[in-house]
Structure 1
Amino acid sequence: MLIRFGYDITITCPQPTPLVCLLNSHADRAGDIRAVEQVVTQPSVPNSSYTDLFGNICRRFVAPAGDFSIWGDGTIEDSGLHDPVFADAQEIAVADLPSECLVFLMGSRYCETDRLSQIAWDLFGNMAPGWGRVQAICDFANKRIKFGYMDARSTRTAYEAYEEQIGVCRDYAHLAITLLRCMNIPARYVNGYLGDIGVPILDPQDFSAWIEVYIGGRWMTFDPRNNIPRIGRIVVARGRDAADVPLINSFGPHELKQFRVWTYDVTGLPLPLPPISH
């Protein structure tokens, strides 16, 4: 299966403003790219890229004063399979975890393990360890939070999502991640593309948040917001929580003027031509 993905974002800055953007597909999918991601800005400005501590591709710009647009587009090959389910996968004891997993057991900006630890153990402490307990935590987050775009708040933490019982995909992810870490199960935040392949079209196209859990000796995908296996995820960035993977990190004020995302199946269609202009 071929999936075309991309974005068209316009911000307005009152003055020249440095930006760091995490918008490229993750480097671990580089071998699946079939039409190289094109990145075009209007006006055209120099840019450079680097890889951060979590392996994410970060692109640097200095946006001029006024409107500044970033447009990206690419095509990737995907298996077309649903997220895998390994119901017999077992949790790994903390003493046996790879060292690089340990950071994903600890509290972070939006994931207050100290505030949710007792709640987690009260809810899930008597459950058998393994895939079933991870799924039960995702089920709980899915039912605890009522989804609504109008309820988005960039500062909402996992504990606040638990208390308020409202939010968007990042809040489902933060709550599930925190409860998992409280149970000594490594969990990390994922930002990326998730289209409506194989499901009814329910929401406007947007970047999505889900989680990866270290279980059975590998990182596995779970999605507390949608809570069913899906087709065609394209990872952009991974981190401890949303603070590590902002789409746009601006070092100065800016206003979002336009935001459009696309991701859809183009199997059997010609690959897109490189853009001539934005």
Structure 2
Amino acid sequence: MLIRIGFEIIVECTAPTPLLLALSPHSSQSGRIIGSDRVHTEPDVELREYLDPFGNRRTRLVAPVGQLKLWSDCVVEDDGAPDPFDWNAHQHEIDELPDETLTYLTASRYCEVAELTEQAWALFGDTPPGWARVQAICNWTHNHLTFGYRFGRSNKTALDALQECTGVCRDFAQLAVGLCRAMNIPARYASGYLGDIGVAPSGAGDFSAWLEVYLENRWYTFDARHNTPRIGRVLMVHGRDAADVAMLTSFGNYDLKLFRVWTDEVTGSDEELLDCLEERPDTPALTLAPTGPNEALLS
């Protein structure tokens, strides 16, 4: 399966403003890519790329005074299979876990653990450990929270989402992550492209957040927001929570003028697809509220 992915973001700054972006497919992306998956700018500015400790591809730049367009557009190859499912995947004892998973057991900026532990064990203590327990957490989170863009804010934590019973996809993911950690299950926050492949159209495109959980010696994808295996998920970033993987972090003020994302299944030869990439698709824009200095635009 071939999937065209991309975005167009326009910001406006009144002074030169350093930006830190997390807007490229993850370094673990193994499928074939047609075109360039790098971030581009109009006008041209100097870009510096690096890998962060989580393997996320980061881009640094200084936005000039005025409007700056950030964009990317390419085609990625996907196996076309839904998210893997293994009801028998077992939960590791703490002393069996690989060292690198231990950081995903403890509290992080947006995922409180101590504050969630009592309720987590009351809700899920009688569920079988392993896949069934994680699925029970996702089922409960999916039913407990009401989704709506008006409920999103950059400083909202898992505990806030729990108490307010509302959120955007990042809040569904972070609450499920916090509840998993409270049950001694390594869990990390992830986000990327997720289109309407195999499901009914859902409106304007956006990036989506989900979680990855360590069971049976590997990381599995769970999605408390949609709560069903999906096709065509393209990982961009993962980390302890949204603070590690903000798609755009600014060190100064900016106004968000345009935000649109596309994720669509496509067909054709490489040459036909490259020709197609010369024009960005006409997709609806999703308008998000602007952020202030040192705040992050989060999925």
Q: List runs of 5+ in structure 2 lacking aligned partners.
A: 281-299
Report the count of equivalent residues. 277
Paired position in structure 2 for 1:144: 144
Paired position in structure 2 for 1:192: 192
Q: Deviations over 1:220-239 (max 9, x none)?
A: 00000000000000000000
Paired position in structure 1 for 2:22: 22
Paired position in structure 2 for 1:122: 122
- What letter corresponds to residue 192 of structure 2 in structure 1? G
Q: Does the Cα contact within 8 Å between 1:105 and 1:186 map onto a contact in 2? A: yes
Shift of residue 253 of structure 1? 1.1
Paired position in structure 2 for 1:225: 225
Distance 1:209 1:77 in 2: 20
Paired position in structure 2 for 1:208: 208
Paired position in structure 1 for 2:80: 80
- What letter corresponds to residue 16 of structure 1 in structure 2? P
Q: List runs of 5+ in structure 1 lacking aligned partners.
A: none
Q: Does the Cα contact within 8 Å between 2:20 and 2:59 map onto a contact in 1? A: yes
Shift of residue 72 of structure 1? 0.5
Instruction: Give the structure-2-normalised TM-score.
Output: 0.90
2:5 aligned with 1:2: no
Paired position in structure 2 for 1:98: 98
Instruction: Give the structure-1-normalised TM-score.
Output: 0.96
- What letter corresponds to residue 108 of structure 1 in structure 2? S
Distance 1:121 1:73 in 2: 44
Q: Does the Cα contact within 8 Å between 2:50 and 2:57 map onto a contact in 1? A: yes
Shift of residue 276 of structure 1? 9.0
Alpha carbons of 1:40 and 1:151: their partners in 2 closer, same or farther (altered >3 Å)?
same
Shift of residue 30 of structure 1? 4.3
Return 217-226 or 28-37, whichever deviates more. Answer: 28-37
Coordinate RMSD, CA, aligned: 1.4
Paired position in structure 1 for 2:273: 271
Distance 2:39 2:162 in 1: 38
Paired position in structure 2 for 1:262: 262
Counterpart secondary structure, 2:58: strand
Q: Deviations over 1:49-90 (max 9, x none)?
A: 000011100011110011111011111000111111101000
Q: Does the Cα contact within 8 Å between 1:38 and 1:275 map onto a contact in 2? A: no
Q: Deviations over 1:71-117 (max 9, x none)?
A: 11111000111111101000011101000000000100110101111
Bigger RCO (CA 8 Å, 6+ sep): 1
Q: Does the Cα contact within 8 Å between 2:24 and 2:38 map onto a contact in 1? A: no
Distance 1:276 1:137 in 2: 42
- What letter corresponds to residue 274 of structure 2 in structure 1? P
- What letter corresponds to residue 44 of structure 1 in structure 2? D
Q: Does the Cα contact within 8 Å between 2:169 and 2:208 map onto a contact in 1? A: yes
Paired position in structure 2 for 1:54: 54
Following TM superposition, the consecutive aligned residue runs of length 4 or more in structure 1 with deviations greater than 6 angstroms are none
Shift of residue 27 of structure 1? 1.1
Counterpart secondary structure, 1:15: coil
Q: Deviations over 1:11-40 (max 9, x none)?
A: 111100111100010111144323332532
Q: Does the Cα contact within 8 Å between 1:14 and 1:254 map onto a contact in 2? A: yes
